[in-house]
């Protein structure tokens, strides 16, 4: 990879900023001052330093966020605040994007990464990765609803949802449930409840496969995945 690309990918600055650093003799490769921004470097083997600080190349970033309501799951939006607006400057150069979509008012587990292969593994309905949600529902959720979800409810546009596993935590005027589904169509959980004549009043994603929301993360907070969480993600990629 070109030296200027590597350094700008690592957030050192724009290619122009990097040129300036080189001009000021602030970049060394294997101990030698380098002036040529197009120099080819091997990120694994070469020792690259900027102002004496070693630069460790990292291609991918994997962030777990507890999504705050009021933010759309997109990288840009002309009117709304996005989940990217919740990220600090130091991770933006990786150009992370949200994996799958949570509605503006939905909270909970959102993975942000720049690893397109992993994103595909997690969201593709063919891969059967279960997504579990906690929700409050206006109205009594019944055992008939559990059976309807098991069989696959028909949404208002005629689409028959794949089977969902519905668990009633508390049934009442306002019911509390958990539901696990393997697809992520637009407003899927809300539309599945509409199909049985009920309204979701609060929705939070708890998990995607083995990735569980870290409940120490406050709304809008995020952290990098732990080694165990990362190992799980890599195991999904191995099935590519
Ligand atoms: N289903 C929904 O209806 N909304 C979400 O945000 C996620 C799943």
Of ligand 1's atoms, which has the minimum distance to the CA of residue 106? Answer: 6
Give me ligand 1 centre to Cα 214, in Å. Answer: 19
pTM: 0.90
How many CA atoms, within 13 angstroms, populate the side-chain half-sphere of residue 176? 4
* Three-class secondary structure of residue 72 per DSSP: strand
User: Are 17 and 70 part of one and the same domain?
Assistant: no
Instruction: For ligand 1, say whether the CB of 203 is within 6 Å of any of its atoms.
Output: yes
Query: Do 165 and 71 share a structural domain?
Result: no
Q: How confident is the model at residue 240 (pLDDT cuts 50, 70, 90)?
A: low
| 67 vs 218: CA distance, rounded Å | 9
Burial label for 48, CB within 10 Å (0-12, 13-18, 19+), is buried
The per-residue pLDDT for 15 is 87
Question: Distance, CA 58 to ligand 1 centroid (Å)?
Answer: 32
From 46, 77, 103, 210, the catalytic residue: 103
Domain of 228? 62-125+211-237
For the CA atoms of 124, 67, 84, 125, the dihedral, rounded to the nearest 10 degrees, stands at: 0
Express each pLDDT in 167-215 by its tens digit.
Answer: 999 999 999 999 999 999 999 999 999 999 999 999 999 999 999 999 9
Eight-state DSSP code of residue 196: T
Residue nearest to atom 4 of ligand 1 (CA): 187
Measured in degrees and rounded to the nearest 5, phi and psi for residue 102 equal: -110, 140
CATH number of the domain within which 218 lies? 3.30.70.580
How many separate domains does the chain show? Answer: 3
pLDDT of residue 238: 78
Q: How far apart are CA 107 and CA 193, in angstroms?
A: 18
pLDDT in tens, 36-68: 999 999 988 999 999 999 999 999 999 999 999
**What is the predicted pLDDT for the residue at 11?**
87
Active site residue 103: yes
Residue 232 tokens, joined: 């799980």
């Amino acid at each position: 990879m070109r030296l200027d690309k590597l350094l700008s990918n690592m957030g050192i600055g724009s290619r122009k900023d990097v040129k300036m650093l080189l001009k000021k003799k602030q970049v060394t490769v294997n101990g030698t001052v380098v002036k040529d921004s197009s120099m080819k470097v091997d990120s694994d083997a070469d020792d690259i330093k900027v102002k004496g600080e070693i630069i460790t190349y990292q291609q991918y970033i994997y962030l777990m966020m507890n999504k705050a309501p009021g933010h759309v799951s997109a990288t840009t939006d002309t009117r709304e605040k996005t989940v990217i607006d919740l990220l600090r400057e130091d991770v933006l150069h990786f150009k992370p994007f949200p994996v799958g979509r949570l509605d503006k008012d939905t909270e909970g587990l959102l993975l942000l990464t720049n690893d397109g292969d992993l994103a595909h593994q997690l969201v593709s309905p063919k891969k059967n990765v279960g997504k579990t949600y906690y929700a409050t529902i206006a109205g009594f959720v019944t055992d008939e609803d559990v059976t309807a979800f098991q069989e696959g409810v028909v949404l208002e546009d005629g689409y028959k949802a794949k089977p969902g596993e519905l668990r009633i935590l508390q049934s009442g005027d306002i019911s509390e449930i958990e539901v696990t589904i393997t697809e992520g169509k637009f407003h899927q959980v809300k539309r599945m409840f509409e199909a049985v004549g009920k309204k979701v009043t609060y929705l939070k994603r708890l998990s995607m496969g083995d990735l569980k929301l870290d409940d120490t993360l406050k709304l809008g907070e995020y952290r990098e995945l732990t080694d165990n969480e990362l190992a799980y993600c890599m195991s999904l990629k191995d099935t590519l």
